[in-house]
Amino acid sequence: MHTKSGGKEYWKRYYSLYLMLIPGLSYVVIYKFLPLVGLTMAFQDYQIFLGDNILESMMLSPFVGLDNFKRLFAYGEFAHVFSNTIIISLMKLFILFPIPIILAVLISEVPSIHYKRTLQTVVYLPHFLSWVVVFGILSTLFGSYGAVNELLTKIGWKPIGFFSDPQVFRWTLVFSDGWKEMGWGSIIYLSAITGINSELYEAATIDGAQKMQQIWNITLPGILPTIAMMLALRMGGILNAGFEQILVMYNPGVYSTADIIDTFVYRVGLGKMDYSFGTAAGLFNSVIGFIMVIGGNYLSKRVTEHSIW
Amino acid sequence: MLKRKTKADRIFLALNYMILTLTGLLTIIPILHILAVSLSDSRAVMANTVSIFPKGFQLEYYKYVLSKHDFYTSYRNTILITVFGTALSMLFTVLAAYPLSKPWLRGRKFLLMLFVFSMIFYGGIVPSYMLMKVLGLIDSLWALIVPFLLAQFNMLVIKSYMEGLPVSIEESAEMDGAGPTRILFSIVLPMCLPVLASMTLFYAVGYWNNYFHARMFISSPEKRTLQLYLNDLIISATQLQNDMTVEDFLNLSPGGVRAATIFAATLPILLFYPYLQKYFVTGITIGSVKG
Amino acid sequence: MMKTIKPIICFLLVAFLLISITACSGEQSQNAETPSPETSAQTKDENSQNTEDKPKLKVLTWYSANVDINNDPTYHDVVERTGYEVEYFMLPADNPGEKLNLEISGGTVYDILKLSPTDFSRLLSQGVYAQLDEVLASRGQNILNAISQESFDTIRKDGKVYGIPQITERPNIGACLAIRQDILDELSLPIPTNLDEFYHVLKTIKQKKPDMIPYTTDNPFNPIIQSAFGLYDGYPEIDGEITWNGKLPQMREYLAFMKKLYDEDLLDKDFAMNKSDTVLAKFTSGKAAVMPYSWYQAGAGTPDALKENVPQGKISLVFPLEDENGKAGIVPAGFSLNNVSGVMKKSPNLEHAISFMDAKLAPENFTFLTLGEEGVTFTVEEGNKYRPIMPIFTEKRGNAYVYLNGFDEKIYPDMWLARIWRDPNLGEAFEMLNSQYDKYAVKPALAYLPPLPADGKYGQSLNAFVEDTFTQYIMGVKPLEDYDDFLNQWDNQGGLEIIKERDEWYQAQNK
């Protein structure tokens, strides 16, 4: 019974909980919130050398209101790269979100511990590769003169432009991202599955439930809080379609479908050191992301009754 | 207890093994290729003719990566940061997650909003640099720990897990007069081992792989981290400057250097993982605390 | 359970304590190294009188590969000969400009900054550098003797000098094409010297060897091919004015030609996604017949790698292609500033910094610090043919270039060749390419152009835009008919400003 009513009882019993919060909270306030002052750069024409130090420069730089945003939206390409960002992000969401979950379930159902361990280690290795390395391998295999296209022409098909055909390239992005991250992404779900009460499974087996039924009725509901939270947070990243990956793997031939907000801003801002512009683009991204997280969390609350807060 | 294996179960198991093995192969083969490249003669590497076995076995790439004095100082620095950072981070994170996992905590929604908000909004490298400067942490290893002291995502994962724990045990402990701290460390944490293990891994890997902060905040050569060292090595193998040391260039294709650095960087994590792995494995009843 | 938790808590507490200790000592040493502006102002006057007491100098430079910068043999000789304790710092290899901005605007003080001309120009406009005219006159005689007034002129601001310029060592022809001589022999084809022959060679290779890629590259430009269209100089002077060669009608012809190559499968279909090592891989594995080439690639093991994978493989060089009138040309590498060394205004050691850099250029020190000892690390014949004695030259002076703050412009261009000859393959390739220097070299209209504001502001993104658009034309993603539109965009994205500034500078130079 918790002392839900206010008053001294509550504080006397639970003050230590608030003490516990002090390290984490002060860290978040100091290291994460204080620098948010920098967001004012988005509304300025920030010149880094104006003052004697960075902060002074922030106070001295002229205020330009929404000019940076207007500049961003005024680019003819903006609507286009915005839609590319959303499309690629949604593709990745729908296709790639379930995969680590399925993988975690499959791995957890394997009886042999040695097989489990080996497979887990193998499957999370690609996470440690840089996209440059992954691209090197992919371009060798899937390039216009690569092994895959060689095979295709041998059996009489036309070669596929995995990296040069704008329509195909998005799929290349999605599946290579899946390959690289599905193993690592399954760790969270694996640990969540481990937390499910094993007696539930025993009871179900006694009742005659089969594997698929057990998975559907015990495992998945058991990790539903994790899934819901991951989904809500994932939606917060809706405008992050994979900057690092796309920057390495794209080329001017596929800009029409693969140029995202981040890569576009990157190219436009090359060498310019325009902190204001970059901050404005980032702020735009964050605002949309935050709205999405709130929205995603609300949905999750409605459908699964689990919420981040 | 009987474990009856029905026909459906056997089919499921067979399919499972097939899918997982396929996935495993799909993953391991490219990795083997990279390993082979790191051990191959540079002329084969340059021509990209290496398959999954080394062509013209040589250890030059590893020698190049491991031979410099820098390698060992940067390795030491990274280990220091990772060990202390992970320990500190886990402490901070767990201390924050526990109170926030109590649905009846006053101010909970506001505090959680704070954490999520700070996760999504980012002020940029400029103010972060300024903050580090003000705190006097520029060019200090501490500057590589502070950015990761609490990853909000990790905190949310732990909190979510704690929320899923049966309330009865904590309540009975409370009845017995135990305070929240005692409950946290004696009762709750032992029940959280799977998520603690996975978050420890996440933090460790985060600290180990960090490149961005090291590049921004570190200037002194002796404080550089492993990722910084390895990245510079790759770039130096790729730079075709008129004045580059010709001898190094003759034997070292960038592809091979890259491949060798991958294994030099990842091996420690590969060794660390098995220790944490046992907490992920289903079916282990951890103590008798559940149920 | 408490039993297992207790040691963990103890460990964490200990960890926390240890970190705090490390942090505190970290802070202390960090504070000791960076002099605050107040102390600098105070000691500035004292130091300028006290020439006996040589302070420790801090030098920031860009990233250099493979050098233990504070421990190199050249470093020790530099310290010994100049009498100055000096500590070098390097910017990261990746995106150094960002870190540079943060450090300087954040208040870190170095004595000497050795940076790229663009970084120099940017910091100069922010008032970061100290003026050098007086101190050079009193303490920089060797510097003034070694470096010409023309070089200084490229970086003057309002007639005053704020840095010590280092020009590129020696203009040389760096670019050509590598072509498979064995395939030419097999198909009885000559080495192409003009556009028609080039096209014919590629076409024949495609017909007779359909599995091969005739020509591979990683970007839409190629000076060897552009030579056939009279496109030598990026910013040539036309009718007394500077313009961008992309505006010339020949550029459209060039792009049309390249598009033709792409459409007929004569140009690598993946050229847009090729990286430089992909190009090398395709050639050395025998897949491609022609690729862009240079003398430093020749020395970097390319012929060897080719032989390894294609035993009969032989490389021949294709020189800049001629147009219908037999004219060909290429702008040599060089004719530019390599770096500029300056002293920060906030540094308290202006006089000592100049003395330090001056000492390195003193005749008795310069040759020693760049090439070493005659007869031990290098030899010289006929007064200007410098050759290295290997392997000791690399051991002792392999990284000597890192420690240069400007060089003796009269003798270093020849001395630099010694560095090339560290590998005979490299030296031979260099000589072969440059044997025709006089025939092909076209001096750029904007030789030794200083970094101009519009360049710094728009240069990089504009270049990316041009490369991307040209690629799209060649691949057929955009129609060449849009070229006028493209030119308008180019103008608006800073191109017009760049041309204007360059033209102004050019007119002032050639009054």
CA distances (Å), origin C238, targets B148, B215, C243: 58, 45, 7
Check if B51 contacts C (Cβ < 8 Å).
no
pLDDT-above-90 percentage for chain C: 71
pLDDT band of C3, cuts 50, 70, 90: very low
Q: Could you give the 3-state DSSP secondary structure of residue C164? A: strand
Using CA atoms, how far residue B189 sits from B104, B134, B151, B289, C63, in Å, is: 20, 36, 18, 11, 47
Instruction: Compute the nearest-CA separation of B242 from chain A (Å).
Output: 24
Instruction: Please answer yes or no on whether A226 and B121 come within 8 Å at the CB atom.
Output: no
Q: Which amino acid is at C309?
A: N
Can you list the alpha helix ranges (DSSP code H) found in B42-139?
42-47, 60-66, 69-100, 108-120, 125-134
Beta-carbon separation of A133 and B123 below 8 A: no
Q: Which residues of C touch A248 (CB under 8 A)?
A: none
**Count of Cβ atoms closer than 10 Å to residue C240 Cβ:** 9
Please tell me the distance from the alpha carbon of residue C53 to that of residue A173, in angstroms, as a whole number.
62
Q: Suggest the residue from B15, B19, B126 to mutate for an interface test with chain A (most A CBs closer than 10 A).
A: B126
Q: For residue B1, what pLDDT is reported? A: 42
Low-confidence ranges of chain A (pLDDT < 70): 1-6
Q: What would you report as the CA-atom Rg of chain C, rounded to the nearest whole angstrom?
A: 27
Q: How sure is the predictor about C40, in pLDDT bands with cuts at 50, 70 and 90?
A: very low
Q: Is the pLDDT of residue C43 over 50?
A: no
Prediction pTM value: 0.89
CA distance C269 to A253: 11
Mean pLDDT over C5-28 rounds to 48
The two three-digit tokens of residue A79, written as one number: 């609507």
Q: How far is C463 from chain A (nearest CA, A)?
A: 10
- Judging contacts by C-beta atoms under 8 Å, the chain B residues touching residue A110 are 16-17, 20
Q: Classify each residue of C34-50 as buried b or exposed e, where b means 16 or more C-beta atoms within 10 Å of its C-beta.
A: bbeeeebeeeeeebeee
Q: Are B279 and A191 inside 8 Å of each other by CB? A: yes
- What local confidence, expressed as pLDDT, does residue B245 receive? 45
Name the residue type at position A218: I
> Is residue B218's pLDDT more than 60?
yes
> Which residues in chain B touch residue A4, judged by CB atoms under 8 angstroms apart?
104
pLDDT score of A308: 84
Nearest CB neighbour to B88, from listed C16, C93, C282:
C16
- Residues in CB range of C32: below 8 A, 6 or more apart: none
Distance from the C117 Cα atom to the nearest Cα atom in chain A, whole angstroms: 13
Q: What is the mean pLDDT of residues C241-259?
A: 96
What is the rounded distance in angstroms from the CA atom of residue C330 to the CA atom of residue C433? 12
pLDDT at B5 over 70: no
Residue C321 DSSP label = P
Residue showing tokens 């050509």: C176
Residue C277: list chain B partners with CB under 8 A: 46, 238, 253-255
Q: Which chain B residues in 224-263 lie under 8 Å from chain C, judged by CB atoms?
A: 228, 231-232, 235-251, 253-255
Contacts of A22 (CB under 8 A, 6+ apart): none
Task: Give the distance from CA A282 to its chain's centroid.
Answer: 15
Please report all neighbours of B, defined by 3+ CB atom pairs within 8 A: A, C
Question: pLDDT at position C50, please?
Answer: 43
d(CA B226, CA B237): 17
pLDDT at A56: 86
Question: How far is it, in rounded angstroms, from Cα C154 to Cα C450?
Answer: 5
Which residues of B fall within a CB distance of 8 Å from A117?
274, 277, 281
Higher-pLDDT residue of B155, B6: B155
CA distances from B124 to A33, A161, B136, B212, C99 (A): 11, 37, 19, 13, 13
Quote the distance between the C-alpha of residue C501 and its chain's center. Answer: 23
Burial of A51 (0-12, 13-18, 19+ CB in 10 A): middle
B73 in contact with C, Cβ within 8 Å = no
**What's residue A28's pLDDT?**
93
Chain C neighbours (≥3 Cβ pairs under 8 A) are: A, B
Name the residue facing B145 among C19, C281, C300 (closest C-beta). Answer: C19
Q: What are phi and psi of C93, to 5 degrees?
A: -70, -30
Interface-testing mutation among C6, C30, C74, C103, with chain B (most B C-beta atoms within 10 A): C30
Cα–Cα distance, B154 to C419 (Å, whole number): 53
Place of tokens 């919060």: A21
Nearest to A52 among C97, C107, C460 (CB): C107
d(CA C86, CA C403): 11
Whether A267 and chain C come into contact, CB under 8 Å, resolves to yes
The whole-angstrom separation of Cα C116 and Cα C168 is 12
Mean pLDDT, range C439-458, rounded to an integer? 92
Burial of C421 (0-12, 13-18, 19+ CB in 10 A): buried
* A205-243 burial code (b ≥16 CB/10 A, e <16): beeebbbeebbeebbeebbbbbbbbbbbbbbbbbbbbbe
Domain A68-304 matching CATH 3.40.630.10: the answer reads: no
CA distance C400 to C392: 13
State the greatest distance between any 2 C-alpha atoms of chain A, in Å, as a whole number. 81
Numbers of helices and strands, H then E, in chain C: 24, 13
| DSSP at B164 | T
Q: C33 Cβ partners below 8 Å, 6+ apart?
A: B139
pLDDT score for C21 = 45
What is each CA distance from B157 to A27, A188, B290, in whole angstroms? 18, 8, 19
A-chain CB neighbours of C457 within 8 Å are 271-272
Residue C17: what pLDDT? 52
CB contact under 8 A, B23 and A103: yes
The pLDDT of residue A142: 95
Q: Which domains does chain B have, with CATH numbers?
A: 1-58 (no CATH), 59-291 (1.10.3720.10)
Q: What one-letter code names the amino acid at C299?
A: G
Per the CB < 8 A criterion, the answer to whether C338 and C166 are in contact is yes
Cross-chain residue pair C15–B185, CB shorter than 8 Å: no
Question: Is residue C34's pLDDT more than 50?
Answer: no
Q: Is the pLDDT of residue B246 over 70?
A: no
Which of A53, A252, A273 comes nearest C97 by C-beta? A273
Name the residue ranges covered by the structural domains of chain A: 2-60, 68-304
Mutation choice for B interface testing from C66, C276, C287 by most B CBs within 10 A: C66
Calpha distance A65→A276 (Å, rounded): 11
Instruction: Summarize pLDDT for C105-149 with one digit per residue, the tens.
Output: 888 999 999 999 999 999 998 899 999 999 999 999 999 999 999
Contacts of C464 in chain A (CB under 8 A): 267, 270
> Residue A187 and residue B280: Cβ atoms within 8 Å?
yes
Residue C331 DSSP symbol: P
Query: With 0-12 CB in 10 A as exposed, 13-18 as middle and 19+ as buried, what is C105?
Result: buried
Q: Is A145 on the interface with C (CB under 8 A)?
A: yes
Find chain C residues with C-beta within 8 A of A54's C-beta. Answer: 102, 105-106
